[in-house]
Chains A and B, each alone.
Chain A
Amino acid sequence: MENQNQDPFGMMAMVNAWMKPFSSLWDGMTGDGGSSPEPSTDTASGPQGKGPNRSQAAMAASLKNWQAMAKAMASPESVKALLKGSTEMPDVMLKLAQTGVSSLATLQENLIKSAGRLGKSVEAYRFEDIDENICRLWTDIYEKEFRRFFQIPQLGLLREYQEKANHLVDQYNLLQSQIAEFVRMLGLPFNHSMQVMQERLGEMAEQGKLSDDSHEYYKMWIKVLEGHFMTLFQTPEYVDTLNRTISAMADFAAARDAVFEDVFSLLPVAKKSEVDDMARDLFELKKRLKKLEKEKAHLAARKAAEVGA
């Protein structure tokens, strides 16, 4: 019963069943039935009987190592340790899932709050709910919770490349959430203008002033919409979102360029930074040359004037 609790999915039996033939395979490869850890002198001898062939000896030693390792892994203690590690994996997965679920809960909570305000009267050219931004909330959650996974330290030879790739994915995600926030904000005037139009039409209907020309309603709506945009564009929230979107674009472009610089270094083409360096050199040279030319012309003119005098 206790064993069943420790290994509810029968992992131990499965691993044992696989380890046995795995170990036997190495026995067969080394050709000694697995009894002797020493290399066979037969296999190590050269064809002319001049002593063991070096490559054959190396191969035999390597096979023996694999064999020893397979046997060690097949021991009950090793299998137990391996399975212990495997039971730890779901903990990491659980952590990830917890982050996701708690974020979704926060999002849902805010959505419910927003829904509670539905149907409220809308005053023209005012944006009381401008900060009720579900996209901003998602960006915040991403920045606090999910971003960490792209910032896990990378190791080894390819560390720098992997870090750049992770950074690019991170910046892409940030850009997407920032664009979503910006677009959501640009959608506000449409919602508001529609609601204002409904109220105006209601008033007109009550007064019996409804027009039979549909074009008039369009003109009225576009004017209201224009007014809402103008109001929105001057709000600090819009300016802040616009600036953050522009920064996110620049951040993403910089991250993308960094990855492409690495890619281009493998190809026979100039990198952007190299072209920029050349352009700067050219710019400075031309400027100096132009200055010298002007000085030369000035000196020549002065000399000519002196000669003339």
Chain B
Amino acid sequence: MAHVKIPVDLILTQMADSAEKAKSRAQKASEVLLGELDTDLAKTPYEVVYQEDRVKLKHYLPRTEIRYKTPLLVVYALINRETMLDLQPGRSVVERFLDAGIDLYMVDWGYPTRKDRFLGFDDHINGYMDDVVDVIRDRNAVEAVNLMGICMGGTFSVIYSALHPEKIKNLVTTVTPTNFDTKKGLLHVWMEHIDVDHVVDTFGNLPADVMNLGFLLLNPARLMIDKYVGFMENMDNKTFVENFVRMDKWIFDSPDLPGEVFRQFVKDCYQGNKLLKNELVVGGQRVDLNRLTMPLLNIYGKYDHLVPPEACEKLTAHVGSKDTEDLCLDTGHIGIYVSSKYQEAFAPKIAKWLMERDGKPRQASVTRKADTAVSAAVVKKITPKKRAGTRQSSKTTETETFQADTADRAPVTGTAR
């Protein structure tokens, strides 16, 4: 056997140094943790202009002159809260939209209680969403609004736009699952065989704690160990602690998911993949993606382990619109929204895309070239996308992949979503 030299002396010296550092860090950390910390979320001022049951419509107060004729409505998922888009001043998608001169509205789904367990897709999409859109149309005296959906909110937005195309001028989907026939994401694997009827019939709504546990189990090594090791290593840094606590607050600020929504999402989407097949029925109406004729911008994350690119990228090939664009960012599910770097690439891109279509007549077919100057911080690589089916020849959709520093791939403070 070869003689093995182990630098025990050096390792022990290092460990002694580390112990010294840890002691000093703990002393500083106590000052930080016992001092005043700014951990509030969603500080950008807004007014609630409409409320129906638990659902509120937020209208953000303009920070600059409104430069868009069409207001933008942002629809977040029913899982977690929309406050993620407004984490803190200086790191807020909301701020960026307002600074671009967008008249911004956002749906706050509130906290479903037991009485909401019977509310399904129809009640949320043809009910709440449609009422909210009508309120904005009336307030702004416009025929149609711009709609941006996030994650499950994106799926709702796609369904809504297919059912009420006359009310939507432009559609933006971000990290939106539409193709559920993939084994790439763990959620897709796990949801395939779950007995959703048994769960919903027993629990009513899906409890937030169960959902959160599920999300933590998507990557326990990072989310249950490494994340807190990182915290211990940086707890003497006030800014880090504030950001960490703010993010942690957001992660565990989870409403329960209405039971019927969960049932339909699992059965029709994860298990039936009915949306892309044009077989989904909501409120007695079949959702036909060919009716989705408005311009569509589809953004997703390359390293998204919840909604992988395979779950997002097929949408543009299945809609009736001739003006579609895919944008793939080198980040995860929420890195798009909370990382300053990706906010720089993402929010101005949406603002610019909307501005280009703001003056144009609704549902116009637009032939365009891909952008060339989105952000100096990212290097852009344009990959023409192969289109499936007969519609391929009639469209000019292109996929843009933004490659940035891979060090930013990990979600900020190691969150799951």
Contact = CB atoms under 8 A, between A and B. Distances in A.
Contact of B190 (A208, A212, A242): A242
A226 B202 contact: no
A66 interface: no
Taking chain B's interface residues, is the majority helix, strand, or loop, or is none over half, making it mixed? Answer: helix
Nearest to B229: A218
Interface in A282-299: 282-283, 287, 290
A38 interface: no
Interface stretch (B5-13, B74-82, B340-348): B5-13
B221 A229 contact: yes
B193 A239 contact: yes
A8 to B, nearest CB: 54
Contacts of B89: none
A99 to B, nearest CB: 30
Contact of B204 (A230, A276, A287, A290): A276
B384 interface: no
Contacts of A29: none
B118 to A, nearest CB: 4
Contacts, number: 89
Contacts of B10: 212
A223 B24 CA distance: 28
A269 interface: no
B407 interface: no
Nearest to A278: B115
Contacts of B226: 222
A242 B18 CA distance: 40
A206 interface: yes
Contacts of A210: 6-7
Contact of A276 (B114, B186, B192, B219): B114
Contacts of A215: 18
Interface residues of B, number: 42
Interface in B197-241: 198-199, 201-204, 210, 217-222, 225-226, 229
27 contacts: A205-B5, A206-B2, A208-B5, A210-B6, A212-B10, A212-B14, A214-B18, A222-B222, A222-B225, A222-B226, A226-B221, A230-B219, A233-B217, A239-B192, A239-B193, A242-B190, A243-B195, A249-B210, A250-B195, A250-B199, A250-B203, A257-B202, A279-B114, A279-B115, A279-B117, A280-B118, A283-B118
Interface of A: 186, 189, 205-206, 208, 210, 212-215, 218, 222, 225-226, 229-230, 233-234, 239-240, 242-243, 246-247, 249-251, 253-254, 257, 275-276, 279-280, 282-283, 287, 290
Q: Which 3 A-B pairs give the minimum distances between C-beta atoms?
A: A212-B10, A226-B221, A279-B115
Given A212-B14, A239-B192, A247-B198, 8 more contacts: A226-B219, A233-B217, A240-B193, A242-B190, A246-B194, A246-B195, A250-B201, A279-B118
